[in-house]
Structure 1
Amino acid sequence: MDHKMKVKRDQAHVDSLLVANQVKGEYEAKDPKMIKYLEKVKELMKGFEGAVVLHVSQSQNKKADALRKLASVAFDHLAKDVKVETLRAPSVMEVEVSCVETPGDNWMTPFVQYLGKGILPEDKQEARRLRVRALQYEMIEGGLYRKSYMGPSLKCIGPYEAEYVIREIHEGICGMHMGAKMVATRAMRAGYY
């Protein structure tokens, strides 16, 4: 908004000591999202002849409280000389990247090669061990599944898919931030191995 109004000097007040010190350069930003916001702030500050970010303590925070309350009400009743800008999107846009699992070798490769194509390792001892362990697995429509004694077969997943499943169970929309054993149990109940 200041750039649109052609302001030469700006003084921003923030209630976060961490943010104020990161902008001043006294603290280092470590969170990737915070680093992007810090870069954006420094880029915007270059457009001013003088720009300062000041920390306002909670006891002197009346202006910030007023702004916070102002943001939660309608703006129709304000005088024309009060400039209000509503941000509809984040200042830093994140590029969304879909992770596709690469077809590289993982723990499932020997089982898929043996059960799908009949290929065994050259070492006789490893081949025997694979034949014994492969009895616990089966191929269904090109996918590897672990047989279950009392329940349905569990879909075997690679490391990238496993990381996604674990993250969703742990911190997803219905995540409960459980411990490692509980997350593994929930993943198996969901049908993954």
Structure 2
Amino acid sequence: MEHVPRERNQEADRLSQLSTEEYGTMQDSTSVEWVAEEAFRAKEVMYNASEGEGRAPGPWYQAIWEFLSTEDLPGDPPVANKIQRQSLRYTLLDGAFYRRSFQGPLLKCVTREEGLAAVEEMHGRMYGSHVNSKTLTQKMLRSGIFWPFVAKDA
């Protein structure tokens, strides 16, 4: 590794200042290339109740999904009570299952496999952020996806 004095490192200085300036106000001839690339690619999940024999698309939210879509509860009172309480944090919109977050938008609920694929895309690509698990978890939630083990899997 070689130390480069600030006087000879103007390009790096200019790049570090780009995030605080508006695009049209740059004074010198710094060229900016915009890369339009999604942070992750979510798989579309289609669900047809007649084909799925009444099963929900994801195992971890199956009972809540069924309660929200049909309002049917299991016969066991403690289990039914738990599902009713948990369902207050979730909603169905246009056939998609979302969790209500405390601070931001609705979080799309995904299966663990889809979540791990999103972690790989956010963390492991060439342009991915190589951060610790807590920061990656927060980034995943800000991007709008959720599964119960997001913190453990990140």
Partner of 2:113, secondary structure, is helix
Partner of 1:155, secondary structure, is strand
Paired residues in the alignment total 95
Which of 60, 63, 68 pairs up with 1:107? 60
Distance 1:184 1:108 in 2: 20
Task: Indicate the structure whose relative CO is greater, using CA pairs within 8 Å and at least 6 residues apart.
Answer: 2
Q: What's the offset of the Cα at 1:122?
A: 2.4
Distance 2:96 2:74 in 1: 20
Query: Is 1:188 aligned with 2:141?
Result: yes
Distance 1:172 1:150 in 2: 28
Which of 103, 118, 130 pairs up with 1:150? 103
Q: Tell me which structure has the larger Cα radius of gyration.
A: 1
Which of 124, 128, 131 pairs up with 2:84? 131
Q: What is the 5 A alignment of 1:12-161?
A: 105-161=58-114
Change (3 A) 1:104 1:155: closer
Q: What's the offset of the Cα at 1:152?
A: 0.9
Distance 2:95 2:57 in 1: 16
Q: What's the offset of the Cα at 1:101?
A: 7.2
Partner of 2:118: 165
Amino acid at match of 1:184: T
Distance 1:146 1:101 in 2: 16
Provide Cα deviations, 1:130-179, integer angstroms capped at 9, x if missing partner.
Answer: 10111010001111101123311110101111111111111124312222
Provide Cα deviations, 1:33-57, integer angstroms capped at 9, x if missing partner.
Answer: xxxxxxxxxxxxxxxxxxxxxxxxx
Distance 2:113 2:144 in 1: 16
Contact 1:143 1:155 in 2 (8 A): yes
RMSD: 2.3
In structure 1, stretches of 5+ residues that fail to align are: 1-98
Amino acid at match of 2:89: Q
- Normalization by structure 2: what TM-score? 0.55
Partner of 1:20: none
Q: What's the offset of the Cα at 1:120?
A: 1.6
Which of 107, 110, 128 pairs up with 1:175? 128
Distance 1:121 1:177 in 2: 44
Amino acid at match of 2:67: Y
